[in-house]
Amino acid sequence: MPPKNRDLSLWVNPFYPSLGVPFFELPPECRIVGLNPTQVKSLTQAVMKSTRNKVKRGNKKLKAGYKKKHKSEPLTPTQALINTMYGPFIENSDFAEIVKRIILASTNSQVQEINNSVIDRLTKKGHRFQTVYGVDTLDEDEPGKDRNLLNYDPLWLHTLQTTGLPPYALRVRKGCPVILVRNLNAAADLMNGTRLLVDHVRTNVLVCRYLNGVRKGEIVLIPKIKLDSGRDFPFKLIRKQFPVKPCFAMTINKSQGQTLEYVGLDMTTPVFSHGQCYVAFSRAKGWNNIWVATDPEYKNRVKNVVWNEALLPKEKVSTITNIQTPRTSQRVKTQNKNKDIPCNNQ
198 and 288 within one domain: no
143, pLDDT greater than 80: no
For 245-297, write each residue's pLDDT tens digit: 999 999 999 998 888 999 999 999 888 888 888 899 999 988 899 999 988 88
Residue 338 falls inside a structural domain: no
Q: Where does the pLDDT of residue 74 fall: very low under 50, low under 70, confident under 90, or very high at 90 and above? A: confident
**Residue 39: which domain range?**
8-57
Residue 62 falls inside a structural domain: no
13, pLDDT greater than 70: no
231 and 162 within one domain: yes
223 and 116 within one domain: yes
Among 180, 214, 247, which residue terminates a domain?
Answer: 247
121 and 176 within one domain: yes
Q: How many domains does the chain have?
A: 3
Inter-residue contact 113 to 149 (CB < 8 Å)? no
For 80-111, write each residue's pLDDT tens digit: 999 999 999 999 888 999 999 999 999 999 99
Residue 313 falls inside a structural domain: yes
Residue 141 falls inside a structural domain: yes
308 and 230 within one domain: no
Residue 200 falls inside a structural domain: yes
260 and 238 within one domain: no
Between the two ends of the chain, the Cα-to-Cα distance in Å is: 128
274 and 149 within one domain: no
197 and 84 within one domain: no
Euclidean distance between CA atoms 263 and 197, whole angstroms: 18
Euclidean distance between CA atoms 308 and 313, whole angstroms: 9
233 and 270 within one domain: no
Q: What is the full DSSP assignment across 27-51?
A: -GGG--TT--HHHHHHHHHHHHHHH
124 and 239 within one domain: yes
Residue 318 falls inside a structural domain: yes
β-bridge mates for residue 237, sequence order = 138
Residue 2 falls inside a structural domain: no
The SS3 assignment for 118 reads helix
pTM over 0.75: no
For 204-243, write each residue's pLDDT tens digit: 999 999 998 889 999 999 999 999 888 888 788 889 999 9
